Amino acid sequence: MHKKVSIPELFFDLVYVYAIGRSMTLIHHIHDGIIPWEDFVIFTLSFLFLINIWVYQTVFLNRYGQESPKNNAFLFLDMGLLLLLSNSFTLEWRGQFTPFVVLVLLLTASLFTQYFLELRHYPGPEHREVIQNYLLILGIRFGLVAVSLFISLTFGLYFYLAGFLAGLILPIFFRKDTSRVPISFAHLVERMTLLVIITFGEMIMGGIAKYFTMSRFSFQSILFFLIVLSLFWFYYEEFYVDIDHDNPHTTGMRLIYLHYVIFLSLTMITAALSFLTEEGVNSLFMVLFLFIALGLYYFSIVLHNTYNKATRHLSDRFLLRVLTAYGIAFALSLVFAANHLFVTLITALMTGCLAYLFYQMGET
């Protein structure tokens, strides 16, 4: 049975409209023509933790969420905490480390409490194992992150990172137990696609909307719009046309982890598009950054092929065409990296071509 997305879940997503935009500001600044690797690491860790919180909440609601005053109260509490967390994103992280960690602990404690309260409602052994596994994971994350508050910042950072990675990776090691309590795959796909749409919304609002003014509108503005449209259409063809929503025996882990990459790549593409009009940017860095992000995006989407309908599996011929178009566009952009308008044109042609190929495949 298809579990429907609740109105409080949609309301919870609203905070991510703001949070994603705040996190993306961390990589919209260049120094000496590039993004310093330290800035990119800070952005990546902040952004992935933000998505990780959303994933944990979504998976919990997928299995155990009922629209009740208790669950709604937790959602609204987490919204407030996430707003505070979003406003603590900064490249000057040393001064914000303690309040940031406290908010991480509160969000982790909220998720832990939600799972703990479900133990008495699901006495069956399969459900108890799943709930206890998540309690263990969240407990480990809480403990490691908490230690970082009581030791020096230099070593505390490593404990925080260990706690973050534990929450990100440990669910993989419990997938056998998790598989005994399958999720509502259709609900999970719907939730993931909604957050992707939010990320595309930020790409428009924080990325290309500034080029659609009377003073800045140009041919390049049209190309930016076509790039965003083509990227979205490629995603649409996979998740609204090809994928089999009726998949009752999956944990959805592949979908979840691949979407971490999709979310991250979209934010990188947004930043890269803005670099195409900036003076002082290192052209070679800009092309590499853009096409690494595009490669991650397309690679992550086509790897969902295992979830596709039997009649909609991606053929080797299609995948070869994707790789060829990507390779040619990447090579040309490297050769003509100094001409940003030409790089934009090549990118628009490649993304448009791939979107059309995917659409055409569905018509045959």
> Looking at residue 354, what is its pLDDT?
97
CA 214 to centroid of chain Cα atoms: 33
Whether the pTM exceeds 0.75: the reply is yes
* pLDDT at residue number 298: 97
Give the tens place of pLDDT for each residue, 179-233: 888 889 999 999 999 999 999 999 998 889 999 999 999 999 999 999 999 999 9
Where does the pLDDT of residue 65 fall: very low under 50, low under 70, confident under 90, or very high at 90 and above?
A: confident
d(CA 60, CA 54): 10
Instruction: Compare 3 and 227 and report the one with higher pLDDT.
Output: 227
Contact of 85 with 16, CB cutoff 8 Å:
no
Rounded Cα gap, residues 328 and 16, in angstroms:
36
Q: What is the dihedral sign for C-alpha 162, 166, 167, 169?
A: positive
- In the prediction, which pLDDT does 332 show? 97
- Partner residues linked to 243 by β-bridges: 308
* CB-count burial class (<10 Å; 0-12, 13-18, 19+) for 149: middle
- The answer, yes or no, to whether residue 6 has pLDDT greater than 90, is no
Q: With a cut of 90, say whether residue 334 has pLDDT above it.
A: yes
pLDDT at 67: 74
pLDDT in tens, 355-364: 999 988 755 5
Distance of alpha carbon 6 from alpha carbon 282, whole angstroms? 46
Q: What are phi and psi of 6, to 5 degrees?
A: -85, 160
pLDDT for the residue 362: 59
Q: Report the pLDDT value the prediction gives residue 212, as an integer from 0 to 100.
A: 94
Integer-rounded Cα Rg, in Å, for the chain is 21
Tens digits of per-residue pLDDT, 29-53? Answer: 788 889 988 889 888 988 999 999 9
Instruction: Please report the sign of the dihedral spanned by the C-alpha atoms of residue 334, residue 340, residue 342, residue 343.
Output: positive
Closest CA to 262 of 234, 304, 204, 301: 301
CA distance 81 to 312: 42
Residue 43: strand, helix, or coil: helix
pLDDT at residue 119 above 70? yes
Q: What integer is the mean pLDDT of 321-344?
A: 96
Range 90-110 average pLDDT:
87
pLDDT at 198: 94
To 5 degrees, how large is the angle CA 355–CA 356–CA 358?
65
Are the beta carbons of 233 and 355 closer than 8 angstroms?
A: yes
Model pLDDT, residue 280: 87
- Which pLDDT belongs to residue 160? 93
Could you tell me which residues come within 8 angstroms of residue 139 by beta carbon, excluding any fewer than 6 positions away?
112
DSSP-assigned beta bridge partners for residue 31: 34
Residue found by looking up tokens 């991250």 in the block: 264
Measured between its terminal Cα atoms, the distance across the chain in Å is 31
Q: Which backbone phi and psi does 34 adopt, to 5 degrees?
A: -135, 170
More confident residue, 26 or 108: 108
Mean pLDDT of 79-89: 90
Q: Give the separation between CA 289 and CA 51, rounded to whole angstroms.
A: 21
> Is the pLDDT reported for residue 236 higher than 90?
yes
Lowest-pLDDT range of 174-188, 193-207, 284-298, 312-326: 174-188
Q: What percent of the chain has pLDDT over 90?
A: 65
Average pLDDT, the chain: 91
CA-to-CA distance for 109 and 99, rounded, in angstroms? Answer: 15
Give residue-wise pLDDT tens across range 257-285: 999 999 999 999 999 999 998 888 999 99
DSSP 28: S
Using the predicted structure, report yes or no on whether residue 139 has a pLDDT greater than 80.
Answer: yes
The reported pLDDT for the residue numbered 326 is 97
Q: Quick one: DSSP state of residue 219?
A: H
d(C-alpha 137, C-alpha 175), whole Å: 13
Q: Where are the domains of the chain?
A: 7-178, 185-363
